[in-house]
Amino acid sequence: YSAKEARNSWKRYAIQMNLKAKEKLLLENDLRIALELGQFHLAYQPLVDLEHEILVGAEALLRWSHPQKGELPPSEFIPLCEENGFILPLGEWVLRNACQQMKTWQDKGFPPIVMSVNLSIRQFRQHDLCERIEKVLEETGLSPQWLELEITESIMADVTFATEMLERLKKLGVRISIDDFGTGYSSLYYLKRFPIDKLKIDRSFVNDVLTDRNDAAIVSGISAMARNLNLTVTAEGVESAGQVAFLKELKCQEAQGYFFSRPVPPEQFLSLFELDKGKRTMKETIA
């Protein structure tokens, strides 16, 4: 490895880094006006009760219709938004939009289901988060019991603050779920201490639940534990009838995944279900 080679490879690296930085700056610029230009929208994915085979909720998932890059998934812009703080106004836009949507559905007489909204750790750390949520609920007219906030285990990094914030949110009347459960560093101790309603088992454990004995044990263990702690449990990323059957066997309460539906635009969401006479079963029967 000669000095010249080293120099060249450093140069290549520097050029690449420079490109990345430039790209990031460009994206950051686009972000700033995207909200005003109405380029964000929400897709909704159903949450299904496995025992009764009924629709119980919708998760709001953010999408960005970028004028040049097309439809961008959150993984391509949320990390940047979290870094530069843009997630605060954007997250509030998501919250308001999702609550508005649910209220609209309710006003049309659709059966009551819960709206889940992902909350970034930066939003969670806002001291006036409760007031902000309260204001959105008031403005949209949605009653707090129909709103569920999805947070990740990362909030436990500051246990004192998290406990206090969760208790305030609970008092507000909204529901709380732990998203991507099992991938973070939550201690079982906190599960008992925190006023949470639901665990969402991360997709990575559900993926190979039929073929990997360790994953099966983990999913089964979390389901049993959640039941004993009186928490609802949702399996994320359910893609096959086999997985559904396995989860039913475990008495896992809820599931979400491509098997039922991908995240879809609001106009499509309710057409997935048979909603007449207060029923809310899936149109295509569940395995």
Query: What residue ranges bind Mg ion (CB under 5 A)?
Result: 118, 150, 179-180, 236
- Nearer to Mg ion among residue 219 and residue 275 (C-beta): 219
Q: Measure CA of the first residue to CA of the last residue in the chain; give whole Å.
A: 60
Q: Which residue is nearest to ligand C2E (CB)?
A: 257
- DSSP code of residue 259: T
Cβ pair 72, 63 in contact under 8 A: yes
How near is the Cβ of 234 to ligand C2E at its closest, in Å? 10
How near is the Cβ of 115 to Mg ion at its closest, in Å? 12
- Report the partner that residue 62 touches, choosing among ligand C2E, Mg ion, none (CB closer than 5 to 8 A by kind): ligand C2E
SS3 of residue 170 by DSSP: helix
Specify the pairing of strand 273-274 against strand 281-282: antiparallel
Sign of the dihedral through C-alpha 179, 183, 184, 189 = positive
- Report the partner that residue 91 touches, choosing among Mg ion, ligand C2E, none (CB closer than 5 to 8 A by kind): ligand C2E
Query: What backbone torsions phi and psi does residue 144 show, to the nearest 5 degrees?
Result: -60, -25
- Nearer to ligand C2E among residue 41 and residue 193 (C-beta): 41
SS3 of residue 136 by DSSP: helix
How near is the Cβ of 97 to ligand C2E at its closest, in Å? 9
- Nearer to ligand C2E among residue 91 and residue 266 (C-beta): 91
How near is the Cβ of 61 to Mg ion at its closest, in Å? 8
- DSSP code of residue 264: B
Query: What residue ranges bind ligand C2E (CB under 6 A)?
Result: 45, 61-62, 73-75, 78, 91, 94, 118, 120, 150, 179-180, 203, 236-239, 256-258, 263
Q: Which residue's structure tokens are 């929208």? A: 41
Q: Which residue is nearest to Mg ion (CB)?
A: 179
- Report the partner that residue 239 touches, choosing among ligand C2E, Mg ion, none (CB closer than 5 to 8 A by kind): ligand C2E
- Nearer to ligand C2E among residue 78 and residue 129 (C-beta): 78
How near is the Cβ of 67 to Mg ion at its closest, in Å? 27
Q: Cα angle at 90 between 87 and 95, to 5 degrees?
A: 115
- Nearer to ligand C2E among residue 21 and residue 53 (C-beta): 53
Strands (DSSP E) contained in 187-247 are 198-201, 232-235
- Report the partner that residue 99 touches, choosing among Mg ion, ligand C2E, none (CB closer than 5 to 8 A by kind): none
How near is the Cβ of 118 to ligand C2E at its closest, in Å? 4
- Nearer to Mg ion among residue 140 and residue 152 (C-beta): 152
SS3 of residue 214 by DSSP: helix
Residue 228: C-alpha distances to residues 36, 223, 232, 239 (Å): 46, 9, 10, 27
How near is the Cβ of 180 to Mg ion at its closest, in Å? 4
- Report the partner that residue 61 touches, choosing among Mg ion, ligand C2E, none (CB closer than 5 to 8 A by kind): ligand C2E
d(CA 209, CA 106): 36
- Report the partner that residue 261 touches, choosing among ligand C2E, Mg ion, none (CB closer than 5 to 8 A by kind): none
How near is the Cβ of 236 to ligand C2E at its closest, in Å? 6
Backbone dihedral region of 85: left (phi > 0), alpha (psi from -120 to 50 degrees) or beta?
Answer: left
Cβ pair 236, 38 in contact under 8 A: no
